[in-house]
Chains A and B, each alone.
Chain A
C-alpha cells in the first residue's frame, strides 16, 4: 500500500467521525485516523483503560507517567476529561455509549463477521477489549489493507480465523474501496481514485453488490 493510498483511506475513515460522537479508536491504523480529524471537531475519544476525553500524545519529556491510552501512548487530558476504573470503562462500551469504533482486521466477512485478535499457533496474545468494542459499539468500522502482504483478500465470504464478534461490522475502509455491510450483502459504495471496479472485485474474496450508478471516489 503506498503512503498516499494509506492516507486517502485514513482520511476517508476520518470523515465519518462526526461532531458530538463518542469514539474509540483501536491500536494501529485506527489511531492514525486522528491526524485527519480537524482539531476543533467536538468529539469525545474513549480509551479502554479509563479515559473519556483523550487528548494529544505527548513527547516522553512532557508525559505524565500515570496517563497512557490503551495502546500505551502517553496522552494528555483536554478540558472535560474524566478518568474511571476498568469496569466502568466497559460499562460505557457494553451499554451502547460508543457511537463509533474503528478497528483493525485480519479478516472480515461479507456478513460483517470480524476476526482481529487471534491466529492459532502464531499470534495468541488475548483479545484485550476488542470483543466488547466490536460487539457493542453502535457503529463498527474496520480499517484494513484490501489484501494481505501476499496479495490475498482480507475480505472473505466467511472468516477462517477465530471470530472476534459475529456480524458486527457496518463499514470497511480499505486502500481500494469503502464497502458497507447491508441486509442484502456486502455493497461497494465508494472507490479509491485510480482503482477500477474490476480491480476491487478481483481483490475481494466475498460477493460484492455493485450499484448501477457511478461510484463516488475518495
Chain B
C-alpha cells in the first residue's frame, strides 16, 4: 500500500482558509517562519484572523505583512518587542494581543496536539499572568489551569518533506513548528525540498505525516529567509 500524496499548490492550500480563522504560524524570529504561505495569505486577503505565533517577526517581515494589510484581529504570542508596528497597533487598540509565557504558550499548543484539555502549572503565580485564570490545588500546592490552545489551521516551514508530509526541520527552525502541526484542524506545511517517499529515514522524521494535511513545495527561497543584516 503506497502512502497518500498530500502535495498541493500554494494557492489551493491557502484558499482553504476562510475569513475569521485562527491560524498558528511556526517560527521563532526568522527560522521556521513560513514566509511563502504568509505571503500567499496576504495575496488572497482573508481577514479577521486570529494569529498564534511566538513573536510578531520584525517590522516588514512575515506577521508584519498581515498586520500592515489589516488582516489580523487578534494575536496570541509571547513577545512582540522586535516589531514596533505590532506594539503600536496593540497600544492603539487596532489589534487585540494576548500574551503567554513562552513555554506556557508552547505547552498549551502541545497538549492540544496531544488531545488533552489543559494542564496545571505554578508558572506566573503571584504575577499579572495569573490574573483571571482558574486555580486548583494539587498535593497541597496551588496551581493555575492552563487550557489547551487549538487552531483552525497551522502554517509550518520545514526543511524537507516527503509527499505524505513527514517533516524534518533544520536547527532552531524547529521551535513551535512540530507542536503547532499537531494542534490544528488542518496543517499546511511549506518545505524547502520535497523528497520521494522513503527519502527521509524513519528515525529522522521530526513531525510524522498523520499530522500534516497539505504539503507545498517552495520555489527558490526569497531573500526574507536569509541571514538578517543588522
Main secondary structure of the interface of A (DSSP, over half): loop
Q: Are A131 and B129 in contact (CB under 8 A)?
A: yes
- Binary interface profile of B, 93-127, with partner A (CB < 8 Å = 1, else 0)? 00001010111111101100000000001111111
Q: Knowing A72-B29, A126-B79 touch, does A90 contact B171 (C-beta < 8 A)? A: no
Which residues of chain A are within 8 angstroms of B170 by Cβ–Cβ distance? 66
Which of B9-17, B41-49, B173-181 lies at the interface with chain A? B173-181
A125 touches B79 (CB 8 A): yes
Residues of chain A within 8 A of B90, CB atoms compared: 124
**Which of the residues A60, A67, A89, A165 comes within 8 Å of B31, measured between beta carbons?**
A67
Does A150 make an interface contact (CB < 8 A)? no
Q: Are B172 and A74 in contact (CB under 8 A)?
A: no
Chain A residues contacting B226 (CB-CB under 8 Å) are 65
Any B CB within 8 A of the CB of A35: no
The reply to whether the CB of A135 lies closer than 8 angstroms to some CB of chain B is yes
Stretch in A47-55, A189-197, A200-208 with 4+ CB within 8 Å of B? A47-55
Determine the distance from Cα of A77 to Cα of B54 in the docked complex, in whole angstroms: 23
Known contacts being A127-B78, A165-B127, is A85 close to B106, with CB within 8 Å?
A: yes
Which residue in chain A gives the minimum CB-CB distance to B207? A85
Those of B153-175 within 8 Å (CB) of chain A: 159, 170-175
Which residues from chain B contact A94 at a C-beta distance below 8 Å? 103, 121, 123
A90 / chain B contacts, CB cutoff of 8 Å: 102-104, 106-107
Of A85, A91, A166, the residue contacting B178 (CB under 8 A) is A85
Known: A48-B102, A93-B103, A127-B102. A67 touches B81 (CB 8 A): no
For chain B, which range describes its interface: under 10, 10 to 19, 20 to 34, or 35 or more residues? 35 or more
Q: How far is the CB of A25 from chain B (nearest CB, A)?
A: 16
B residues within 8 A CB of A77? 171
Q: A60-B229, A126-B99 are in contact. Are A72 and B173 (CB under 8 A)?
A: no
The CA of A69 and the CA of B78, in the complex, are separated in Å by 16
User: Shortest distance in angstroms between B55's beta carbon and chain A's nearest beta carbon?
Assistant: 8
Q: How far is the CA of A64 from the CA of B228 in the complex (A)?
A: 11
B30 within 8 A of A: yes
Contact across chains for A163 and B127 when beta carbons are under 8 A apart: yes
A68 / chain B contacts, CB cutoff of 8 Å: 28-31, 172
Q: Which residues of B contact A163 (CB under 8 A)?
A: 126-128
Q: Bound complex: CA of A210 vs CA of B29, how far in Å?
A: 45
Interface string of A129-148 (1 = CB under 8 A from B): 11110011000000000000
Bound-state Cα–Cα, A66 to B109, Å: 22
Q: How far apart sit A165 and B175, CA to CA, in the bound complex (Å)?
A: 24
**A86 CB, min distance to chain B CBs, angstroms:** 4
Q: Is the CB of A65 within 8 A of B103?
A: no
Please determine whether B107 and A87 come into contact, CB atoms closer than 8 angstroms: yes
| Residue pair B175, A126 in contact (C-beta under 8 Å) | no
CB <8 Å contact, A67 and B172: yes
Chain B residues contacting A69 (CB-CB under 8 Å) are 172
* CB closest residue in chain A, given B28: A49
Taking the nearest CB of chain A, how far is it from the CB of B180, in angstroms? 10
Give me 17 other A-B pairs in contact (C-beta within 8 A), A86-B103, A127-B79, A136-B123 excluded.
A47-B172, A50-B174, A66-B32, A66-B170, A68-B172, A83-B171, A83-B174, A87-B110, A90-B103, A90-B106, A91-B103, A118-B128, A124-B90, A127-B129, A129-B101, A132-B101, A132-B104
Question: When A and B form their complex, which 7 residue pairs have the shortest distance between CB atoms, in order from nearest?
Answer: A90-B103, A125-B81, A128-B79, A86-B106, A126-B79, A129-B102, A87-B110
**What are 18 A-B contacts defined by CB distance under 8 Å?**
A49-B31, A50-B28, A70-B28, A85-B175, A85-B176, A86-B54, A86-B102, A87-B107, A91-B103, A125-B87, A127-B79, A127-B101, A127-B102, A131-B123, A131-B124, A132-B101, A135-B124, A136-B123
Interface residues of chain A, those whose CB is within 8 Å of chain B, are 47-51, 60, 63-70, 72, 74, 77, 83-87, 89-91, 93-94, 118, 124-132, 135-136, 162-166
B residues sitting closer than 8 Å to A (CB atoms) are: 28-32, 54, 77-82, 87, 90-91, 97, 99, 101-107, 109-110, 121-129, 159, 170-179, 225-229
